[in-house]
Structure 1
Amino acid sequence: MQERLQKVLASAGIGSRRECENVILAGRVTVDGERVTALGATVDAGKSVIYCDGMPIRPEAKIYYLLNKPKDCLCTNYDELNRLRAIDIIKNVKQRLYTIGRLDKQSEGLIIITNDGELSNKLSHPKYEVNKTYFIEIDGYLSNETITALQSGVWLAFGKHKPVRIKKMHRSFKKSRFEMILCEGKNREIRRMLADHGHKVRTLRRIKIGSLCDPDLKVGKYRKLTEQEIKSLYSMTEKKPIEKKSGKQRYDTVTASKKK
């Protein structure tokens, strides 16, 4: 069966499909002795002889971990300063692992680590709008005006951010704590949204990915995902992408009616 080369590489644990596209473009892959440097090539994984960086590509068993990422830990596979990476925390694994999505260096919380490039590609694709829930603590009082703005969608340097949901608020003039649910994954988006409204983020912790959560998993610890959890993750990518609608807001909003 013919498949796109980047999909075969991702299935073999080389990286996410997008990362594998970059590997191909860099000229690091050969198929039946011929170097491939352009996207669009298809191969039969069962018959073609495929090498990446001089090493043969072989299908490998898929593994899935849930990590409660600590602060000062990077969600990347390459760091020239040799700092601690999320994948370094997972011990005694031969497969090449990578994170699905990212949490910035100062953030902590749940992140999936796997060698399943196909699942990574699907869960990271914005069309499926997989919700992520975060616990956030900020300096200052989270005003009703800010809540309304965030839940309506705010403009940042990269464009208008999609609306978010805010719940479980505890507000005071010195600091506010709340949960935020969003479905995008742009770089430092939460910090940038709140900074735009004058708030410095003190704590940012991802506590849920879709329906996947584990309040008992300690910071810096990890565990294997259960078969049911893996099936649940795949089911998120099998749903029909949410259609864009004009008019009514698609997100439930918190009623910002508390008096200061």
Structure 2
Amino acid sequence: MRLQKYIALAGVSSRRKAEELIRTGKVKVNGKIVTEMGIKVDPEADKVSVMNKEIHILADKKYILLNKPVGYVTTLSDEFDRPKVIDLLKEVKERVYPVGRLDYNTSGLLLLTNDGDLTHKITHPSSHIYKTYVCKIKGRITKKEMETFRSGVDIGGYVTAPAKIELLKENNDNSLVKVTIYEGKNRQIRRMMEALDHPVITLKRISIGKIDMDNLQIGKWRHLTNKEVEYLRSL
């Protein structure tokens, strides 16, 4: 088994993050630091440690859906000591980590798991898994601006992939729109709206593929159903 896959299956991080841990010399195999990609390990015979802590493949995988509040970070540590989403999961004994990210000022659906393979599947750019958001923006968005949003927006040296947008409500001061994208560029929707001169006021993710929150209250979480897990694996 490749070393980065072993690390992901141990619930330490996603496979992509595992590669970074290996490159930076934080991983040891049988007591020796390994920095090369592609190294294979025997789960039964080799001892693997990350930052001097021995790790093992997790038999019991957890899949959690959280309705993230505004004002929480999705990182596992924060230099400014801001509240973390894992603080809301104190009843969960296993170590889980966020699948992708939601900005500090963005609320809504966030998946957390210790299944590195599933994390890799959902977050990899080639997966094209659509995420849907409800977005309140400044000003009244025009049909022409929405067509620009759908065809791709230059957010500073990068033109976004085709996206979906639907006007839900508007008044003289702002618009409420439903937006669907499959890319995951940093602050992508906020940057797209800023490029159209419609700064975001509030942003909430309501679904990932066919997974939604139903009536889950903000700050609360639930386990994914077996059907939901199988659906994500099938994507």
Both proteins in one fold, TM over 0.5: yes
2:109 matched residue in structure 1: 110
Distance 2:16 2:134 in 1: 29
2:145 matched to which residue of 1? Answer: 146
TM value normalised by structure 1: 0.87
Q: What is the TM-score of this pair, normalised by structure 2? A: 0.95
Q: Which residue of 1 aligns with 2:67?
A: 68
Deviations 1:75-116 (A, max 9, x none): 111212221111221113333221011111111000101111
How many percent identity over aligned positions?
39
Match of 1:23 among 17, 21, 24: 21
- Deviation per CA, 1:3-52: give whole Å up to 9, x if none: 11010000001101111111112222221232212212111112212122
Query: In the aligned structure 2, how far is the partner of 1:53 from the partner of 1:140?
Result: 49
Q: CA RMSD in A?
A: 1.2
Q: Paired residue for 1:218?
A: 217
Q: CA deviation at 1:168?
A: 4.8
Q: Residues of 2 paired with 1:214 and 1:168: CA distance?
A: 21
Q: Is the 8 A contact 2:167 2:175 kept in 1?
A: no
Which aligned pairs between 1:129-208 and structure 2 lie closer than 5 A? 129-208=128-207
SS at match of 2:212: coil
Q: Does 1:49 align with 2:64?
A: no
> Equivalences for 1:245-256 in 2 at 5 Å?
none
Residues 158-191 of structure 1: per-residue CA shift (max 9 Å, x gap): 4110111112522333111111111011111111
Runs of 5+ consecutive residues of structure 1 not aligned to the other structure: 237-260
Partner of 1:7: 5
| Alignment: residue pair count | 234
Measure, in 2, the Cα distance between the counterparts of 1:19 and 1:156: 26
CA contact (8 A) 1:130 1:210 kept: yes
Does the Cα contact within 8 Å between 1:87 and 1:113 map onto a contact in 2? no
2:113 and 2:87 map into 1 onto residues whose CA distance is: 13
Amino acid at match of 1:213: D
Identify which of 56, 59, 62 aligns with 1:58. 56
Q: Equivalents in 1 of 2:80, 2:86: separation in Å?
A: 15
Q: Hey, what does 1:39 align to over in structure 2?
A: 37
Whole-angstrom CA distance in 2 between matches of 1:108 and 1:202: 12
Provide the residue aligned with 2:90 in structure 1.
91
Task: Please give the secondary structure, in 1, of the residue aligned with 2:165.
Answer: strand
Deviating beyond 4 angstroms after TM superposition, the runs of 4 or more aligned structure 1 residues are none
Aligned equivalents of 2:84, 2:104: Cα separation in 1: 10
SS at match of 2:81: coil
Question: What secondary structure sits across from 1:160 in the alignment?
Answer: coil
2:64–2:223 contact (8 Å) kept in structure 1: yes
2:147 alignment partner, SS class: helix
Name the SS of the counterpart of 1:43 in structure 2: coil
2:132 and 2:205 in contact (8 A); partners too: yes
Q: Aligned partner of 1:70: which letter?
A: P
For 1:35 and 1:191, locate their aligned partners in 2 and report how far apart those are by CA, in whole Å: 41
* Partner-residue secondary structure (3-state), 2:83: coil
Secondary structure of the corresponding residue to residue 7 of structure 1: helix
Structure 2 gaps, min length 5: none
